[in-house]
Amino acid sequence: MRTRDFALLALDAMGGEVKGKTLFQKRIYFLGLLADQLDELGYVAHYYGPYSSEVAEAASEMQALGFLSETQVGCGATNAWGFEVARSDFELTKDGKKVVELLKSQEGDLPKRIADAWAKVRDAGDLSYMQLAIAAKVFYVLQLRGGSVKREEIAQIAKKFGWTISQDDVAKAEAFLLSLDVIDVEPVA
């Protein structure tokens, strides 16, 4: 399986569109995790949580081949250096959907595993890109550490990132990880 194939099938499972490349990266991370394909997707540690240059390149390739259209949406905000923050919204094109149908006939049960994974992620709260980034980074840190975690530790780990994040974001990320059942949690004494 190529990363591009996984990304195409994932986009199709998400309804054919995704709003923002960070959201795209983090969703694919969790879909890869739940569909047992994470090792194939090339994620590495990154300041903003796990990041895969292969997934980023897959998005570029899909656009270059006309399978994905991109719309830049101004968010009305600026970053720390004063640049306007623009969001890239992606949507599968007609040709992209044709390739997805072809992949569904070639990739065995993978399309179903990805669709099931997406249903689980969506039902767990369908988080914003920031909440998902917190959840992804917390999970990544916990995975490196191994073993179980006390529930209150999740928020503590999140606070150490140095990002500007709200308590609500942390709470949602925590609830998300717990409902995905991807971490072992010890009760707080």
Partner 1 sequence: MNTQTQVRCPVHDFIALGKRECQIINTKVVQRLRGIHQLAMAYLVYPGALHNRFDHSLGVYHLSSKLCDRLQINNDDKRLVQFAAILHDIGHGPFSHVWENGLSRYSDKVALGIKREKIHERIGQDMIAVDPELNRCLSTDERNSIISLLRDGYGEPVLKDIVSGPLDADKQDYLLRDSRFCGVPYGTFDLSQLHRCLATGEQDGSTCLAVTEDGVHTLEQFVLAKYYLTNNVYRHKVRLISDNMLTRAVMLGIETDGIEELRELCSYDGKNPEQFIREYALWDDARFLVTFGSDRYNGTKCHTLVTRLRERQLLKQVYCKQLSESEFPDGLVREALTKLQEAQQTEIEEQIAGALAAKWGKSIDSKLVTVSVYSVRSVRTDSKDDEKSILIGSPKPVPFEECSLLFNSINEQLSYFYVEVYAPADWTSRTKRREMMDGVSADIYSILNSVTQVKGAVE
C-beta of 69 vs 128, nearer to partner 1: 69
- Cβ neighbours around 42 below 10 Å, total: 17
CB of 85 to partner 1, least distance (A): 9
**44 residue type, one letter:** V
Binding-site ranges for partner 1 (CB under 8 A): 2, 21, 39-40, 42, 44-48, 51, 53, 56-57, 59-61, 63-67, 70, 79-81, 83, 88, 93-96, 98-99, 101-102, 105-106, 141, 160, 162
CB of 38 to partner 1, least distance (A): 12
C-beta of 26 vs 121, nearer to partner 1: 26
C-alpha 121/C-alpha 70 separation (Å) is: 23
C-beta of 46 vs 122, nearer to partner 1: 46
CB of 176 to partner 1, least distance (A): 20
Alpha-carbon torsion (29, 114, 119, 63), positive or negative: positive
Burial of 170 (0-12, 13-18, 19+ CB in 10 A): buried
C-beta of 2 vs 150, nearer to partner 1: 2
- Cβ neighbours around 163 below 10 Å, total: 15
